[in-house]
Amino acid sequence: KNELKEFFGNFVLNLEKTEIFSEIQKNLTDEVLFVGCGSSYNLALTISNYFERVLKIRTKAIPAGEVAFQKVPDLKEEGLAFLFSRTGNTTEVLLANDVLRKRNYRTVGITIEEESRLAKESDLPLVFPVREEAIVMTKSFSMILLSLMFLADKIAGNSTERFSELVGYSPEFFDISWKVIEKIDLKEHDHFVFLGMSEFFGVSLESALKCIEMSLTFSEAYSTLEYRHGPKALVKKGTLVFMQKVSGMDEQEKRLRKELESLGATVLEVGEGGDIPVSNDWRSAFLRTVPAQILGYQKAISRGISPDKPPHLEKTVVL
């Protein structure tokens, strides 16, 4: 919980001075691709939304497998593409890098492994100084998300003060999340639902994936109001819903919470005035996966499972 502060001071605040920053700025086109698999796809999706929001460009987030096997209907002949892979060796991402480079895309390879193929084969490698041994991606997700959102604001010429505030708040946010989740009887909850919009939808997808991977619990994610259109049929006592609050939706969120609680669900709201309070600014996305990381961890422990080594999964998926 304290690593984020150090990382922000040592790495993120210096990003602007690096060569990769000016290269990205120079190569920014009117449509930018964001590509990855699994957590790295969720990361790509969340960042893609934020780039669109602050830089007013069109973006597309695509699972790497669809680029790798050329299933994208309208891929352009050139452009800029961000490829995400924590290990830097996931087959689909490497194949996607080949496909895009052959088409004259400039590829930015985002990874934490300097010696990985993505770091070596992408045009503009951006290697993060983060160590993460577990199979499940947790802190590197938050750190890369924070960095690229920061980068987008810097390119747009926006103030980045809010990031400093959020990073300063992160240890407290971690503690509050831990305590709130600790109070829930997790043995009685076996169905987790994550609801969010836009950037917070990416956060919700990642939250569900974390809980599946770490605690082997049935978990789903939906765009907040979509949940009322069918999926809520599965709500029961034992359903735990995390709702990511967004600005201007208080009334709808309140009504949805009431409805889900009347169906037997336990509901926790993350955001301004919520059970786990945090700013509703989209920049808070990098913090908002933390409650699910804690939930996955606590649920795994309550089931006697190792949250670091889920069955059937490997750190790098090789096709």
Residues in touch with ligand F1P (CB under 6 A): 37-40, 85-87, 90, 93, 135-137, 213, 313, 315-317
For residue 314, the minimal CB distance to ligand F1P (Å) is 7
In whole angstroms, what is the distance from residue 96 CA to residue 105 CA? 11
DSSP of 285-307: HHHHTHHHHHHHHHHHHHHT--T
Query: How many other C-beta atoms can be found within 10 angstroms of the C-beta atom of residue 273?
Result: 10
For residue 271, the minimal CB distance to ligand F1P (Å) is 25
**Cβ-based nearer residue to ligand F1P, 49 or 90:** 90
**Cβ-based nearer residue to ligand F1P, 48 or 224:** 48
| Beta pairing partners, 62 | 35
In whole angstroms, what is the distance from residue 177 CA to residue 68 CA? 38
For residue 129, the minimal CB distance to ligand F1P (Å) is 16
**Cβ-based nearer residue to ligand F1P, 45 or 268:** 45
Residue in the shown chain whose Cβ atom is closest to ligand F1P: 38
**Cβ-based nearer residue to ligand F1P, 63 or 271:** 63
For residue 196, the minimal CB distance to ligand F1P (Å) is 19
In whole angstroms, what is the distance from residue 4 CA to residue 173 CA? 12
- 105 touches 33 (CB < 8 A): yes
For residue 38, the minimal CB distance to ligand F1P (Å) is 2
In whole angstroms, what is the distance from residue 57 CA to residue 75 CA? 16
For residue 17, the minimal CB distance to ligand F1P (Å) is 27
**Cβ-based nearer residue to ligand F1P, 133 or 161:** 133
- 14 touches 23 (CB < 8 A): no
**Cβ-based nearer residue to ligand F1P, 87 or 198:** 87
Closest CA to 234 of 263, 210, 268: 263
